[in-house]
Amino acid sequence: MATVPTNAVPPNPSAAPATAAGPSPEAAGPGGGRRPRGAGAGMAYGLAAYGLWGVLPLYFAVLAPAGPLEIVANRVVWSLAFCLLLITAIRGWASFRAALASPRVLGTLSLAAVLIAANWLVYTLAVLNAETIQASLGYFINPLVSVLLGVLLLKERLRAVQWVALGIALLAVLVLSVAYGGVPWLALALALSFGFYGLVKKNVGTKVDAVTSLSVETLVLVPASLAVMAVLASAGSATLLGHGPGHFWLMAAGGLITALPLLFFGAAARRLPLSTVGMLQYLAPLTQFILALAVFHEPMPAERWAGFALVWLSLIILTADMIRSYRVGRRAEAAERALDRAAAA
Q: Is residue 335 part of a domain?
A: no
Q: What is the pLDDT of residue 2?
A: 37
Answer yes or no: is pLDDT of 13 > 50.
no
| 325 in a structural domain | no
Query: Is residue 162 in some structural domain?
Result: no
In a domain, 29, yes or no: no
CA 197 vs CA 112, 117, 136, 278, 281: distances in Å:
5, 10, 18, 18, 16
The secondary structure of 329-343, three-state, reads: HHHHHHHHHHHHHHH
Least confident of 2-11, 147-156, 254-263, 298-307: 2-11
The string of pLDDT tens digits covering residues 260-273 is 988 888 788 778 77
- What is the DSSP code string of 11-38? --SSSPPP---SS-TTPPPGGG-PPPTT
Task: Taking residues 86-104, report their average pLDDT.
Answer: 94
Query: How many other CB atoms are there within 10 angstroms of residue 345's CB atom?
Result: 5
285-309 mean pLDDT: 94
Model confidence at 5, pLDDT cuts 50, 70, 90, reads: very low
Q: Is residue 95 part of a domain?
A: yes
Query: 32 in a domain, yes or no?
Result: no
At residue 37 the predicted structure's pLDDT band, cuts being 50, 70 and 90, is low
Work out the average pLDDT over 274-299. Answer: 89
Q: Which residue has the higher pLDDT, 332 or 98?
A: 98
Tell me the chain's radius of gyration from C-alpha atoms: 21
* 13 neighbors 225 (Cβ within 8 angstroms): no
Per-residue pLDDT at 107: 95
Mean pLDDT for the stretch of residues 287-303:
95
Mean pLDDT over all residues of the chain?
84
Q: Is residue 53 part of a domain?
A: yes
Structural domain contains residue 116 = yes
Kindly give, in sequence order, each residue whose CB lies less than 8 Å from that of residue 182, ignoring residues fewer than 6 positions away: none
Give the residue with greater pLDDT, 132 vs 64. 132
Q: 309, 171 in Cβ contact below 8 A? A: no
Instruction: State the distance between the two ends of the chain, measured CA to CA, in whole angstroms.
Output: 46
| Percentage of the chain exceeding pLDDT 70 | 88
Model confidence band, residue 29 (pLDDT cutoffs 50, 70, 90): very low
Q: Is the pLDDT score of 230 beyond 80? A: yes
Neighbours of 210 (CB within 10 A): 23
Count of domains in the chain?
1
Give the Å distances, CA to CA, from 121 to 69, 117, 125, 201, 309. 7, 6, 6, 19, 27
Q: Domain range for residue 78?
A: 6-14+39-154+183-302
Angstrom distance (rounded) from CA 165 to CA 141: 11
Residue 157 pLDDT more than 70? yes
